[in-house]
Structure 1
Amino acid sequence: MDIFKPHWSRFLHPNGPDPHNTKYTPHSRPIFSSPYGPFPPTPEDLNIHELCFPPNVPLPEDYPLFINAATEESVSLHQFYARCCALARVFRHDGPNPLKLSASPVNDKEDGEILGLFSKNHIHYPMVAHACFRAELVFGGISPASTPFELWWILRKMQITSLMCHESLLPVVYEALKLGSGETDPASPLRLVLDPKKLIILSDNPSLDTISNHPTIESLVRHGSTLPETPRKIRGGDRMAYLFQSSGTSGLPKAMMTSHKGGLHSGLQGMVTAVQGARYMGMEPLSTPQTVLGVIPMYHSYGMILWILRLNLLKLTNVLLPKWDLEFALQTIQKYKITTLPLVPPLVQQLANSPLTEKYDLSSVLGAVSGAAYLPPDVAVNLAKKLPQGKDAPIPSGYGLSEAPSIASPAPPGIFGLPAAPPGTIGYLLPGMEGRVVDPETLKDVAKGEKGELWARGNVVTPGYFKDAKATAEIFAEKGWLRTGDLVMRDQNDIIHYLDRLKEMIKVKGLQVAATEVEDTLLEHPEHLVDDACVSGVDNGRGDGSLFVRAWVVLTAEGRELGEEKVAEKLDEWVQGRLSRHKWVTGGFEVVDSIPRTPSGKMLRREMRDRYHARIKSEGKSKL
């Protein structure tokens, strides 16, 4: 297949559009498509690993693939591949199988082995993911910020049977296991199936074979290097590849499925746009090696694309930061001559506003990009001013969801005859995507220029939520069409304008918070202090597109007796003990007599939010 040949043309469809001579023609039909055209053809059963490392194709010349910016530890491309193959031999359920793993499910109609990946960013995390692909072992990415309760919940939702855990997070795992099987939990019928004997430790010390009597990843790589390689066809296609945490439209986190077909097409989208963009600029595509600053979480769909799904598709070195520190990030950019900055809006804001940027040489940066949340236009311009691209090339912001990681993005002005996407819009559909704008109440397509919910279709869209048919049905009103929950307008040029969020999701520093999860937590306080609760995202006053979580509560008799101030303290402590930091009620608590609702009982969160913003504006304050 062409997709395996080591040349940039493998990322183009044979009948794909020419960036200079093909002119995209906007139209008024309900379904509109990407100006970039379809994906290149791929084999039906292609595995993500084999897209990145095609069989019988020699590896290119070696180079550093991952570098830990803090310790300077590095892994080269050739080392990565050898280690991946070794670990995959250990992970194969039909091989020597020292871990006694079973076969993984191909979809959510089956049970089987699912390996949880519970770790902060680490230079060996992508290797573990690719070893899973190669071994046909399904894995689930879990936030390292999880509390014991959140971990216990997602272990059940993902039906995790074995777990790779970073050594620093072992105490969280042990606390989660103490919560039991979940038999008495009415919120989900799924029980805890993790086998404590199948804990594997990702350690920062490569010399250790065990930690707390659990084998380390390094010990398994060493063992795998002694095992013979068994030639076999690695299966992929529509088979399940991995699970992500997703809050969907409401409630506690769900387990979102991604197939090999979905994952590899998420990786291909950026390759198609990069090749076509370079051709339009008159440059040889993929000819310039890149050095990328690595801070986006690997368990997140954005990080998955960056650090795992595009490996070896182009030559790039990933310099990973253990955590975000503005000055250390600037030192790293200067030291390693970073060329590419994948960011989220709060980090764009920090870089744009900080005087520290004047102290360091940023001339190596060829481009920055933002994702995971809305990027205000002025912030996009302010950072661009500090980079070689200049104010006339604002930082572009991609649009996607966990359920469809990359849906739309601004395109280079003029490519395919396209006009520039105005600041504040989410641009054009990305390769392989189709869209519709639909009235969320009637589910009928609206006319061009009218507001409606964006629906998306394409290979990158999730098949649904693992073992949760009800939640899956909520996001697919029609087969194949994902309801994004976002209110948009499609203009005369088929540019998508983002208007508002229909579903009650709150974006905090690029991470999703389900309003209902925080509301349920408040209502579950053991002292029964609250009769009703409403949670929404409110402006944080910083202009970076991120929000504060604010709660309006109706007190019980016990709560009124205790007093508003004491109730707020107790609720705050309860939330912080149960939920991750980004879900904390940083926007404050407000006691109200009642929560407004529609006649059908639907909570009017937006009304509460709008009232708050109007009051703050009139008072001239940014936050109570």
Structure 2
Amino acid sequence: MTSSHHDPTLEYYEKLGQTRFVSPKTPDVHSIYKPSTGPIFSSPYGPFPEPIPADLSIHDFCFPRDNPLPPHDYDALISSATDERVSLFQLYGRIKAFARAIAPDGPNPLHLGAPATGDGPGQDGEILGICSRNHLDWPMLAHACFRAGVPFGGVSPASTVAEMRHVLGRMRCTGLIVHEELLGKVRRAVELARREAGGFWLDEGKIVVLSEDRGRMEVGGWPTVEALVRVGLGVDEGVARGFEGRRVVGGERLAFLFQSSGTSGLPKAMMITHRNAIAIAQQSIIDGRAIGEFIGGDPIHHKILGIVPCYHSYGAIVYIARINLFRYANVMLLPRWNTKHALETIERYRITSLPMVPQVVRQLAQYPDLHKHDLSSVIAVGSGAAYLPPDVAKALGDKLPQKQPVGSGYGMSEAASISRPVTCGIFGLPSSADKLNTVGYLLPGMSGRIVDPTTMKDVPTRNTPGEMWVRGENVTPGYFHDAQATAELFAEPGWLRTGDLCSRDEADQITYVDRFKELIKVKGFQVAPSEVEDCLLDHPDGLVRDACVVGVIGEDGITVLPRAWVVLGAKARGRTADEVFETLTKWVQERLSRYKWLDGGIEQVESIPRTESGKMLRREMRDRYEKGQGRKSKL
């Protein structure tokens, strides 16, 4: 790798990093972090060194108006399916063109009016939904919306018709950019909305189709994304210069909406402001620069496997808030997950970074032909978006070049990036590799507390579980047009209740226990489902490939008992179900307290239902059981 003294592109990024309000006051990476002595603890990276300008937009943060691009072009996005490439310069050009086309004061073939700016009085307006699997145009569409000042809402392409109707209504989407393969589902969602009263704002005249054929200008009577890009490119040069000179307003204005996971009910719409998004980007820069300074040597040419969904908060970090922040960061986007194709992509493009979700980590760890693939290029592996069982983290880590468990970061739709494991020794901190369930240390600009959810007071000692509360610039202002849910989210001004049971150790390292609302109360004792699941997964014979534990009502109609659903592993073949269940029952009883035993039974299933991001749908398993779709196994 060329040194920074002879590489103008690297010099561009280093200078840009210095001007993005991140470097001057960051603690020296070789200094020793002093853990907090009080109940509130902070990030070893320190606070954000400088205030974010009040009206800065996330687009202008990523592409500064005075110097938006480096001196040399490179492939920013590559489709792993077709090898189609979009360079950084092409990406920026398409962002500008699409933004010109949809801007309310531009050509505006969609006839968009004033955009929404928030959920307060007088802030209603246009919001574009984006519903597509991972696609080369996803980051372009997001930044074009930012540049045009029109907020967007990410909608899961895996939504059912009813879920899509609900989410589009919750987000108050007035228009929609939708992949052509999902048009049938959108039509049915619109038909469903017509049969129901109110709560739906989508104008069918404001639909744009994302087509795989860039030569198509319309699909089903609706314009394509490519058609609008060409509209923007065709704007008179003098007019275009006027567009480029406009100031994009950001700050506390609504930038985009996340679809919540819906693990405890129908999804809600989570607001993210430009200020929130810039804070997420700052965290990436500070963290990346700190690691680079600590490790030393020449910068790394990042080649990132684009697995995580673009519409998800994790995807927003990887594909939207980090655009143009790192030197030569190529993202190889996977349209959909396929283990064999993903491994071939790692080999073909010499992938260095694997941001993953737990479900993908599990599939890779259990893939029988993993050893046949060359993974020597991989130097950074991380998991997020949901809980990663320690045995799964270790199983894949042992098969990767570093021979370290896969690190699991911590975040949520309400605060996309909260903590992550750190490089061993940075700030004098110990390694997280051997600590089960750790989600590392708070990221730059974050503060945290561990609070007893019953008394609402800070827990008195270290390593005592309580609800994790966080504070930082990346924390959402709340749920879109849902004041009651927002009020429940913030117990005190500025402090977000995560709903997660965590603890912190002597070094302020955070350990994840479980979702607070998913704890099972057995005869007055609290049982963390993840602890029992981890115990099942940890059986030395590898009998269990996946597990889900929830509390069910016992035969007396009163007592709540832990019950497990298990996906058996290959090593369970040749044994009867009763033999396996008896072995697992004995294993749990030898290792866990009496009240954690599986007195509600064990049942074999083919799969455990999960969201796209890997979050387990325990509610669905409980509902199936209560509706009589499952029976307790007699052990």
User: Normalising by the residue count of structure 2, what TM-score does the alignment of the two structures yield?
Assistant: 0.79
What is the match of residue 33 of structure 1? 42
Question: Pick from 387, 391, 394: which aligns with 1:381?
Answer: 394
CA distance in 1, matches of 2:80, 2:297: 31
Say if 1:342 and 1:369, in contact at 8 Å, map to a contact too.
yes
- Alignment counterpart, residue 303 of structure 2, candidates 280, 284, 291: 291
Where does residue 257 of structure 1 map in the other structure?
A: 271
| 2:224 paired with 1:216 | yes
The answer (yes or no) to whether the contact 1:208–1:216 under 8 Å persists in 2 is yes
Match of 1:158 in 2: 171
2:625 is the counterpart of 1:590: yes
Match of 2:66 among 56, 59, 62: 56
Question: Can you give the 5+ residue segments of structure 2 that lack an aligned partner in the other structure?
Answer: 1-10, 521-528, 539-543, 556-604
In 1, Cα distance between equivalents of 2:291 and 2:33: 15
Structure 1 residue 405 corresponds to structure 2 residue 416: yes
Q: 2:472 aligns with which of 458, 473, 476?
A: 458
Q: How many Å separate the matches in 2 of 1:247 and 1:361?
A: 34
> Within 5 A, what are the aligned runs for 1:174-573?
174-181=187-194, 184=197, 191-227=199-235, 228-229=239-240, 230=242, 231-247=245-261, 250-284=264-298, 287-314=299-326, 315-390=328-403, 393-421=404-432, 422-449=435-462, 450-504=464-518, 539=533, 548=548
For residues 137 and 547 of structure 1, the distance between their equivalents in structure 2, rounded to whole angstroms, comes to: 43
- 1:350 to partner: Cα distance: 2.1
**Bigger Cα displacement from structure 2, 419-428 vs 306-315:** 419-428
Is the 8 Å Cα contact of residues 67 and 320 (structure 1) preserved in structure 2? yes
Q: 1:591 to 1:241 in 2, by over 3 A?
A: closer
Quick one: distance in 1 between partners of 2:499 and 2:465? Answer: 13
Partner-residue secondary structure (3-state), 1:120:
coil
The structure-2 alpha-carbon separation of the partners of 1:443 and 1:293, relative to structure 1 and needing over 3 Å to count, comes to same
Q: Is the 8 A contact 2:441 2:509 kept in 1?
A: yes
> Does the CA contact (< 8 Å) of 2:151 and 2:255 recur in 1?
yes
AA at the equivalent of 1:345: P
Q: Is the 8 A contact 1:104 1:137 kept in 2?
A: yes
Residues 108-164 of structure 1: per-residue CA shift (max 9 Å, x gap): 012100000011111111100010010110000000011111111111111010000
Which sits farther off after the overlay, 395-404 or 11-20?
11-20
Q: Which whole-Å CA distance do the structure 2 matches of 1:247 and 1:471 have between them?
A: 15
For 1:350 and 1:247, locate their aligned partners in 2 and report how far apart those are by CA, in whole Å: 21
Instruction: Determine which of 39, 64, 68 is the counterpart of 2:79.
Output: 68
- Of 20, 28, 33, the residue aligned with 1:18 is 28
Aligned match of 2:594? none
Q: Which residue number in structure 2 is paired with residue 129 of structure 1? A: 142
Shift of 1:3: 12
> Quick one: which amino acid aligns to residue 292 of structure 1?
I
Whole-angstrom distance in 2 between the partners of 1:351 and 1:592: 34
Q: Which consecutive unaligned segments of at least 5 residues does structure 1 have?
A: 185-189, 507-535, 556-571, 594-608, 620-624
Are the counterparts in 1 of residues 391 and 537 from structure 2 also a CA contact under 8 Å?
A: no
1:553 Cα offset (Å)? 8.9
- 1:75 CA drift (Å): 0.8
Q: 1:102 to 1:592 in 2, by over 3 A?
A: closer
Whole-angstrom distance in 2 between the partners of 1:130 and 1:246: 21
Q: Conserved in 1, the CA contact under 8 Å of 2:359 and 2:613? A: no
CA separation of 1:437 and 1:551: change in aligned 2, threshold 3 A: closer
Deviations 1:17-52 (A, max 9, x none): 0001x2211133121110001124332211111111
- Cα distance in 2 for residues equivalent to 1:147 and 1:70: 25
- Alpha carbons of 1:91 and 1:592: their partners in 2 closer, same or farther (altered >3 Å)? closer
Partner Cα separation in structure 2 for residue 480 and residue 3 of structure 1: 36
| Deviation by residue 1:584-605 (Cα, 9 ceiling, x = unmatched) | 9468833599xxxxxxxxxxxx
> Residues 44 and 182 (structure 1 numbering): CA distance in 2 closer, same or farther, change over 3 Å?
farther
Count of matched residue positions in the alignment of Structure 1 and Structure 2:
538
- 1:40-98 CA distances to partner (integer Å, 9 max, x unpaired)? 43322111111111112152211111111111111111110001100000111122322
Alpha-carbon distance in structure 1 between the residues aligned to 2:545 and 2:57: 37
- 1:112-123 maps to which residues of 2 (within 5 A)? 112-123=125-136
How far, CA to CA, are the matches of 1:170 and 1:580 in structure 2?
Answer: 23
Secondary structure at 1:24 match in 2: coil
Shift, 1:6, TM fit = 3.3
Aligned-partner SS, 1:427: strand
Distance 1:545 1:303, change over 3 A: farther
RMSD: 3.1
Alpha-carbon distance between aligned partners in 1 of 2:104 and 2:517, rounded to the nearest angstrom:
41
Give the whole-Å Cα distance in 1 for the aligned partners of 2:254 and 2:496: 18
SS at match of 1:494: coil
Match of 1:477, SS?
strand
In structure 2, C-alpha distance between the alignment counterparts of 1:171 and 1:553, rounded to whole Å: 41
Cα distance in 1 for partners of 2:437, 2:549 equals 23
Q: Assess, with a 3 A threshold, how the Cα gap between structure 1 residues 112 and 554 changes in structure 2: closer, same or farther.
A: farther
Kindly provide the amino acid, as one letter, of the partner of residue 114 in structure 1. I
Q: For residues 247 and 353 of structure 1, do their structure 2 counterparts lie closer, same or farther at Cα, with a shift above 3 Å needed?
A: closer
Partner SS state of residue 448, structure 2: strand
SS at match of 1:454: strand
Q: CA deviation at 1:491?
A: 1.7
Q: 1:414 to 1:152 in 2, by over 3 A?
A: same
How far apart, CA to CA, are the structure 1 residues paired with 2:460 and 2:106? 57
**One-letter code aligned to 1:108:** D
Amino acid at match of 1:210: E
* Partner Cα distance (1:101, 1:505) in 2: 46
In the alignment, the residues of structure 1 paired with residue 12 and residue 275 of structure 2 have an alpha-carbon distance, to the nearest angstrom, of: 14
Query: Structure 1 residues 369, 247: CA separation in 2 closer, same or farther (over 3 Å shift)?
Result: closer
AA paired with 2:84? E
Change (3 A) 1:214 1:291: same
- Please tell me the residue identity of whatever aligns with 2:408: S
Quick check: 1:85 aligned with 2:120?
Answer: no
1:101 aligned to which of 98, 109, 112: 112
| Identical aligned residues as a percent | 48
Distance in 1, matches of 2:547 and 2:158, equals 19
Shift of 1:181: 4.9
Check conservation: 1:249, 1:485, Cα contact below 8 A.
no
Distance 1:469 1:369 in 2: 35
**Distance change in 2, residues 1:549/1:201 (3 Å):** farther
Q: TM-score w.r.t. structure 1 length? A: 0.80
- The farther-off stretch of 443-452 and 287-296 is 443-452
CA change 1:261–1:4 in 2 (3 A) is farther
Query: Are the counterparts in 2 of residues 145 and 580 from structure 1 also a CA contact under 8 Å?
Result: no
Q: Which residue of 2 aligns with 1:529?
A: none
| Cα distance in 1, alignment partners of residues 218 and 330 from structure 2 | 30
Alpha-carbon distance in 1 for matches of 2:92, 2:440: 37
CA displacement at 1:385 relative to structure 2: 2.4
Q: Deviations over 1:486-544 (max 9, x none)?
A: 111122211112122112499xxxxxxxxxxxxxxxxxxxxxxxxxxxxx999496679
